[in-house]
Amino acid sequence: MPRSHTPAWEREKKFNAARVIHSFRIDGLSPFGFVEFPFRHYIKWQNSLTLGTLTYFRHFSFSNREIEMSNKRRITERTMHTLFFVVASASIVILFMIMVFLFMEGMPIFNEVSVKDFIFGKYWYPTSEPPDFGILSLIVASLSVTLLSALISIPLGILTAIYIAEIASKKVSEIIKPMVELLAALPSVVIGFFGMVLVAPFLQNVFNIPTGLNLFNASLMLAFMSIPTICSISEDAIHSVPNSLREASLALGATHLETILKVILPASLSGISTAVILGMSRAIGETMVVLMVAGGAAFIPESIFDPVRPMPASIASEMAEAPFRSAHYHALFATGIVLFIFTLLFNIVADHIAYKYKQVGEATL
């Protein structure tokens, strides 16, 4: 068709197409990705192209750029995913290596004494002739100290958390919470000195007992150490309960106390269980405090005012004196295995309780 008879709309379409190609050349892009045409040939070249083809080439060029950016993002995400996986796996690998070392050093003791005599033996005299490697008194002491400290610290920690989160005014809570959390920063040796120098003479004078270094003193100091952890985490769990649950309970006519006991505490039970796990895990494995204030007597206690020797205190006090790779040395590592198993069972039971009472829906924490 002669150029003079070309319709106006078709001439405009070809002119716009030429402008698109020219814009590609200005941006340094080619619609084909491999060739650049001189601008004077664009109009002639457009006689064999349609606007739809140009649109395809244009999207093809921008898709290559988007693909490159997508590949870079994918490589970055894979790199960060691998890095985080390695960091998260490091704790598991370290724990596994510690467990392997613990069992390698502790199992040889059972070549000299049976498991039954080791666990249920009442006498711990590792340096006598012949030696006695019964750790029942150490197990009973550890369980007694942990249980008594739990009876003291769990109610106080949770009640303090409830007061800070639900009852106290904002100004009061801003004063009390930092003070409670500051207690967690105290070193265990400082708490041990406090129990040995101040609490022990007080207990000895008030209760008229032979020594103030006993099971009750150790439990009191362990509870003193556990309360900040239990209180802080429980308070965060209570704060995480949605306000809609509180408002719904109050709208149904419940009092503030009923809302706390029947709505807020059940909804935050999973977080409170986590707080108890962390607090008691610190108590059952604490060494310095029980070494300083428990009394150090390897006997089964008959009252809370008897001196005791928990497993961590026995390991800490005797490891330096035990000859390397001797029966005494292996017996201390076997005691560590028993302590490890007790801690593991405690965490499993606590996690089961937290999972069993975990709330769903809006109350999920």
SS3 310: coil
Each residue's pLDDT tens digit, 55-80: 444 444 445 677 778 788 888 888 99
Token digits for 365? 């924490």
Output the six-digit token pair for 76: 């970055």
pLDDT tens readout for residues 271-298: 888 888 888 888 888 888 999 999 888 8
Sign of the torsion angle spanned by Cα atoms 27, 30, 33, 35:
negative
Cβ atoms 214, 310 nearer than 8 A? no
DSSP letter at 335? H
pLDDT, tens only, 80-127: 999 999 988 998 899 899 999 999 999 999 988 999 999 998 889 888
Residue 173 CB partners (closer than 8 Å, separation 6+): 164, 165
pTM: 0.73
Percent of the chain with pLDDT over 70: 80
The domains found in the chain, sorted by start residue, are 1-111 (no CATH), 114-363 (1.10.3720.10)
CA 117 from chain centre, in angstroms, equals 37
pLDDT (0 to 100) of residue 174:
86
Buried b (16+ CB within 10 A) or exposed e, 59-84: eeeeeeeeeeeeeeeeeeeeeeeeee
Ranges under pLDDT 50 in the chain: 1-3, 15, 17-62, 363-365
Annotate 113-177 with three-state secondary structure: CCHHHHHHCCCEECCCCCCEECCHHHHHHHHHHHHHHHHHHHHHHHHHHHHHHHHCCHHHHHHHH
In degrees rounded to 5, what are phi and psi of residue 36?
Answer: -125, 130
End-to-end CA distance of the chain: 76
Q: Phi first, then psi: what are they for 39, rounded to 5°?
A: -65, -30
The DSSP 8-state label assigned to residue 325 in this structure reads T
Structure confidence at residue 221 (pLDDT)? 93
What pLDDT is stored for residue 9 in this prediction? 52
Burial of 17 (0-12, 13-18, 19+ CB in 10 A): buried
Cα gap 232→52, rounded to integer Å: 66
Residues 6+ apart with CB under 8 A from 132: 121, 123, 124, 125, 126
Report how far residue 177's alpha carbon sits from residue 165's, in angstroms, rounded to the nearest whole number: 10
133 touches 117 (CB < 8 A) = yes
CA distance 74 to 70: 6
Peptide bond into 130 cis (omega under 30): yes
For CA atoms 159, 160, 165, 169, give the dihedral sign: positive
Q: 3-state class of 355 per DSSP? A: helix
